[in-house]
Amino acid sequence: MPVDKKVILQIMAEVVRRPHLWITALRQIWRIRRTGWYRKPPFLPIPDSSYLKFRLLTAYGDGDDQQRISVDVVTYLEWCRNWRSAGE
């Protein structure tokens, strides 16, 4: 189940609207970045496509319903932010 570009733009729009999640989003992207990302184009610290496919398959199954992914990502980022602040 590859992620539709429209869904990626929705996720980005949701995060942009929530400045309090910007640092958390960057931290999470950094944590799941592809190993050796600086050696291969596009030279961005983004996750490996096989990892994303696996995560989407385990979270949503084979279905093509990608409508709630952006909501789930925001919920996850909120959880990460709250969990991190709870440990301080």
pLDDT at residue 26, rounded to an integer: 94
Task: State both tokens at 6.
Answer: 């429209």
Per-residue pLDDT tens listing for the chain (88 residues)? 566 788 889 999 999 999 999 999 999 999 999 999 999 888 988 888 888 888 888 888 876 667 788 899 999 999 999 987 776 5
pTM above 0.85, yes or no: no
CA torsion angle for 22, 17, 42, 58 (degrees, to 10)?
A: 80
Secondary structure, 3-state, the chain: CCCCHHHHHHHHHHHHCCHHHHHHHHHHHHHCCCCCCCCCCCCCCCCCHHHHHHHHHHHHCCCCCCCCHHHHHHHHHHHHHHHHHHCC
Domain boundaries, the chain: 1-47+60-75
